[in-house]
Amino acid sequence: MGTGFVVSSDGLIATNFHVIEEGRAFTVETSAGIALPIVAVHASDAANDLAIIRVDTKGAPLPALELADGDAEQGMRVLAFGNPLGLQNSVVEGILSAKQMVKGRELLQLAMPVERGNSGGPLVDLQGRVHGIVNMKSAIDDNLGFAIPIRRLLPLMESPNPVLIERWVRVGKINRERWQILFGADWQERAGRITANGTGTGFGGRSLLLWQAEAPEIPFEIA
């Protein structure tokens, strides 16, 4: 479970890329428990861990949050909304304690507890303006988290790269008509390369992927 927030009343919802990931089926539900049909992944940026989803609002405008114009200030009080550890519609208050470079990216350092399920949620000031998108917790302190500055989302809103949801959920998927998976594991095919994610149920965590094409008539060569 992750979190998202409305950035445009016509059905655009921002979240983290790792919340939806390529090839993953997911659903969108409002805080009131209403399921919204997903039309497309409107824009995505894996490097910055950002994504924008387009949903069908069924003609009813969604309440969008205001995005902050300027940079967030160190020491400002902020609120984070989300579903930490599956606890829905939770809010936590903290301080924007610093700005840090993490793996080459500038992130907002938050003096507040951040858990799984907060990912993709809005980081807002006391006026309700969004300054960042929560994306991870600290590995060394339970009361420390990080958020992506909201300005990183603006290029995606201005220059989207939409992918229909029917195609999104198939990205990287193995063609089961051509391949047979034995002993589990999650096999993916990208850019001509086939890889296994995780371990299988075979001895030592092994998994097999077998090509199901019929062998050619003899004689033939194996490259």
User: Would you please indicate which residues are annotated as catalytic (active-site) residues?
Assistant: 18, 49, 119
C-alpha to C-alpha distance for 140 and 144, rounded to whole angstroms: 8
SS3 content of the chain, % helix, strand, coil (to 5): 10, 40, 50
Q: Where are the beta strands (DSSP E) in the chain?
A: 5-8, 12-15, 28-29, 35-36, 38-45, 50-55, 66-67, 77-82, 90-102, 105-111, 122-124, 129-137, 145-149, 163-164, 179-182, 186-190, 193-197, 208-211
Cβ atoms of residues 121 and 84 within 8 Å: no
Question: Could you count the other beta carbons within 10 Å of the beta carbon of residue 138?
Answer: 14
C-alpha to C-alpha distance for 147 and 114, rounded to whole angstroms: 10
Which residues sit opposite 44 in a β-bridge?
Answer: 51
